[in-house]
Structure 1
Amino acid sequence: MYCGIDTHADTHHAAVITDTGILLESRQFDTTTNGYQELTDWIRQHGHPIAVGIEGTSSYGAGLTRHLRSHDIAVVEVPRPNRKLRRNVGKSDPIDAEAAARAVLARNQLSEPKHGDGPIEAIRALRVARSSAVKAATASMNAVRSMIVTAPESLRTHLRGRTTTALLDACIALEPDLTALADPNNATMVALRSLAKRCRELRREADQLKKHLTALVADTAPLTSGILGLGPDTAAALLITVGDNPDRLRSESSFAHLCGVAPIPASSGNTHRHRLHRGGDRRANQALHTAVVVRLKYSDVARAYAKRRTAEGKSMPEILRCQKRYLAREVFSALREDYRALTT
């Protein structure tokens, strides 16, 4: 029999079908340790599951995926129900759970989920925290600059023309009169000082997280992080895309497809061509793009390639796409060696 699970933040809905597609039962469970165990026992009451299809194994279904794997139950990632099914059948948790089970039965666009129980999951957690700190610091700095534009003239004159670091120092050093906050000048000084302190603290936090991330990436994947053009953040993005179980990627071309750098055939009749792949993990695609731009600036080989392809009539976007594809091949080879070292 097969099982499909529609995942949510507080509840999971599961459906069990036979190998001939007959719905046996559908039921809802809590997203707690006890709920996971109840779901596992409930599945086994109906027999030995060939596979369990979960929608969202890297988000709401991550904890359940780890639990089922620890109980030797095969788990696969299923795509969300297509729009045609939604229009004809409707949408509800039982319907989505049954659709997930039928997707497993039909073996329709299934993929192996990330395990999420190794050093790559640790890297992902650190990168999420650092990215959040960087975004918040940028937002605070933008708010400082925006507030200065509309600040009273005396305050604008005092803060105008400073570098970012000097501007933060000046805002933190402001001494408003807290007994006269009805005065726009004093209120603006309080706001600027608060925003500047927040930005400074967030930057310190981001720097500390970057140190942790750099050390962990270097220990986990020394060959990958040593590739020209890859820094700790871009290398981390590629590691996160692959996950803790790289064996789910069958080949170098599957990695390129996952990163959105594999050309898509678009031929018809006597016309033979390929088009840009707009799918894949866009964070991994961005990481490869950043690395290629760095290589074009610092690598003689990359610059010579770009010069040769330009002479052949290729545009710079086309050259970048080609180099991203070549870099994906290099990264995959390094990743494979790094993962092999982790497991030996």
Structure 2
Amino acid sequence: MNTETSVVVGIDTHADTHHVAVINEHGKPIADQEFLAVGTGYRKIVEFITSHGTVMTVGVEGTGSYGAELTKILRRAGMNVLEVNRPNRAERRLRGKSDPLDAYQAAHSVLAGKGTSIPKAKDGPVECLRILRTGRSSAVKAHTSAVNQIKGLLVSAPDTLRAKYRGLRTPALIATLSRARPSGHFADPEYVCLLTMKSLALRCQSLAAEISAADTALQDILDTYAPLLCDLPGVGTEVASQMLVTVGDNPERVGNEAQFASLVGAAPIPASSGKTTRHRLSRGGDRDANLALHRIVLTRMSTCGQTKTYVSKRTAEGKSKREIIRCLKRYVAREIYRQIMNPQPAPNNADLRQRRTELGVTLASAAGALGQWPSVISRLERGLIRNDYLAATYRQWLTEQTPAIPV
């Protein structure tokens, strides 16, 4: 084994085979070879690349798909692994495309330090979240499809069926259809229609149970791995799990808050022209994570007093709703990054109910003064929701109240 030569490795991954290319530290090709994408092939890859010198870095295409298992094995062997982006189309048109060319391109990208990133570890609880979310997403789509099919059949169903089921809301419709007892023969459209709708209703119930089980599993993992993330306003199980999946099991791969903003599609980029000076958010990054940010912003715009005040202020300045949402997305991305990297527990609001009781103030009176529903104030007092701005406003309002005089 030649230990004096430092080498860089590029690997083009596929479902059945992986092509490996080795270059030296100056970019000169040394060797390339194709291996089977199986356990023995992975071991031969490690032997092949180490036989040409000291491995500096390995660049792998598709670390989250075809190259996932190979990435784990290379890391266990103590090698530094980077994910390499696919070569741009212009370069492919000029230089052509083949497995050896792609492998050498991956190695040269690593050597040049461009188009690379740290791959996700995919070996911890976040990977479990990703797998559960995959199954849950499929179940949600199938459930929606089944409900739409039931309603579609009901539109053209015989009048007796439409009169019986048309006025029911979706949950009651599914429950009623699942209990139906169709009778007749297969040449009767009414019988076949009711039989099919019952089958779809039973499918809906089965899928609903599957979704509920996935939600429970997701929450169990979040309670163990990132219990404080859901303390942020507007962040529930769905949003928290998506954000963690975007970051991965190795959050240190995201170097700073600006990189996280780019990762979730919330980084502002210039979009100025002529006399117009403005910015827009990046359209790159993980679009599922960007959708999760959008959900947080919409929730806060309807429930958070501080966000409502900000929206009113920016609207008065002439900003459109879309521009305000973009600003809020950037703020939320910064907040979530800090919570993932340095979790902070929610403030203890246990004193609010005690102080309100001592002052003789009713829950309805406090809610009316703060412009909130009594249920929101009650949940805030019991620690079931987190809203730091509302808690601070509530505490300040209680401080300004005078104790009730006993009669």
TM-score, length-normalised on structure 2? 0.79
User: Does the residue aligned with 1:222 lie in a helix, a strand or coil?
Assistant: coil
Q: Which runs of 5+ in 2 are unaligned?
A: 1-6, 345-407
Paired residues of 1:257 and 1:280 also in contact (CA < 8 A): yes
Q: Pick closer, same or farther for the CA change 1:92–1:152 going to 2, 3 Å.
A: farther
Query: In 2, Cα distance between the equivalents of 1:169 and 1:268?
Result: 57
Q: Deviations over 1:117-175 (max 9, x none)?
A: 11111111122221121111111111111122222332222221111122112322333
**How many Å apart are 1:270 and its aligned residue?**
9.0
Amino acid at match of 1:24: I
User: Does the residue aligned with 1:49 lie in a helix, a strand or coil?
Assistant: strand
Task: Specify the alignment match of 2:368 in structure 1.
Answer: none
Task: Specify the alignment match of 1:224 in structure 2.
Answer: 229
Task: Specify the alignment match of 2:163 in structure 1.
Answer: 157
Task: Specify the alignment match of 1:21 in structure 2.
Answer: 27
Amino acid at match of 1:158: K
Using CA pairs below 8 Å that are at least 6 residues apart, which structure has the higher relative contact order? 1
Q: Pick closer, same or farther for the CA change 1:186–1:26 going to 2, 3 Å.
A: farther
Task: Specify the alignment match of 2:208 in structure 1.
Answer: 203
User: Does the residue aligned with 1:293 lie in a helix, a strand or coil?
Assistant: helix
Q: Any residues of structure 2 matched to 1:178-189 within 5 Å, and which? A: 180-189=185-194
Q: Pick closer, same or farther for the CA change 1:307–1:162 going to 2, 3 Å.
A: same
Query: In 2, Cα distance between the equivalents of 1:266 and 1:202?
Result: 44
Paired residues of 1:224 and 1:235 also in contact (CA < 8 A): yes
- The runs of 4+ residues in structure 1 deviating greater than 6 Å are 268-271
Amino acid at match of 1:318: E
Query: In 2, Cα distance between the equivalents of 1:256 and 1:276?
Result: 9
Query: In 1, Cα distance between the equivalents of 2:61 and 2:148?
Result: 38
Q: Pick closer, same or farther for the CA change 1:170–1:273 going to 2, 3 Å.
A: closer
Query: In 1, Cα distance between the equivalents of 2:170 and 2:264?
Result: 35
Paired residues of 1:3 and 1:101 also in contact (CA < 8 A): yes
Amino acid at match of 2:137: S
Task: Specify the alignment match of 2:195 in structure 1.
Answer: 190
Query: In 1, Cα distance between the equivalents of 2:135 and 2:128?
Result: 11
User: Does the residue aligned with 1:142 lie in a helix, a strand or coil?
Assistant: helix
User: Does the residue aligned with 2:55 lie in a helix, a strand or coil?
Assistant: coil
> Is 1:11 equivalent to 2:17 in the alignment?
yes
Query: In 2, Cα distance between the equivalents of 1:83 and 1:171?
Result: 53
Paired residues of 1:220 and 1:338 also in contact (CA < 8 A): no
Paired residues of 2:82 and 2:118 also in contact (CA < 8 A): yes
Q: Pick closer, same or farther for the CA change 1:75–1:269 going to 2, 3 Å.
A: farther
Q: Any residues of structure 2 matched to 1:165-180 within 5 Å, and which? A: 165-177=171-183, 180=185
Q: Any residues of structure 2 matched to 1:300-311 within 5 Å, and which? A: 300-311=305-316
Task: Specify the alignment match of 1:324 in structure 2.
Answer: 329
Paired residues of 1:15 and 1:98 also in contact (CA < 8 A): yes
Q: Which runs of 5+ in 1 are unaligned?
A: 340-344
Q: Pick closer, same or farther for the CA change 1:268–1:154 going to 2, 3 Å.
A: closer
Task: Specify the alignment match of 2:120 in structure 1.
Answer: 114
Task: Specify the alignment match of 1:243 in structure 2.
Answer: 248
Paired residues of 2:280 and 2:326 also in contact (CA < 8 A): no
Q: Which of these two proteins has the greater Rg computed from alpha carbons?
A: 2
> Is 1:86 equivalent to 2:92 in the alignment?
yes
Query: In 1, Cα distance between the equivalents of 2:194 and 2:37?
Result: 47
TM-score, length-normalised on structure 1? 0.93
**How many Å apart are 1:182 and its aligned residue?**
3.0
Query: In 2, Cα distance between the equivalents of 1:261 and 1:233?
Result: 19
**How many Å apart are 1:266 and its aligned residue?**
4.3
Query: In 2, Cα distance between the equivalents of 1:255 and 1:297?
Result: 26
Q: Pick closer, same or farther for the CA change 1:166–1:268 going to 2, 3 Å.
A: closer
**How many Å apart are 1:269 and its aligned residue?**
9.4
Query: Equivalent of 1:52, from 58, 70, 87?
Result: 58
User: Does the residue aligned with 2:116 lie in a helix, a strand or coil?
Assistant: coil
Q: Which moved more, 1:106-115 or 1:266-275?
A: 266-275
**How many Å apart are 1:230 and its aligned residue?**
0.4
Query: In 2, Cα distance between the equivalents of 1:148 and 1:27?
Result: 60
Q: Pick closer, same or farther for the CA change 1:184–1:224 going to 2, 3 Å.
A: same
**How many Å apart are 1:18 and its aligned residue?**
2.1
**How many Å apart are 1:276 and its aligned residue?**
2.7
**How many Å apart are 1:49 and its aligned residue?**
1.6
Q: How many corresponding residue pairs?
A: 338
Query: In 2, Cα distance between the equivalents of 1:312 and 1:272?
Result: 15
Task: Specify the alignment match of 1:342 in structure 2.
Answer: none
Query: In 1, Cα distance between the equivalents of 2:301 and 2:217?
Result: 28
User: Does the residue aligned with 2:187 lie in a helix, a strand or coil?
Assistant: coil
Sequence identity percentage: 46
Query: In 1, Cα distance between the equivalents of 2:337 and 2:19?
Result: 37
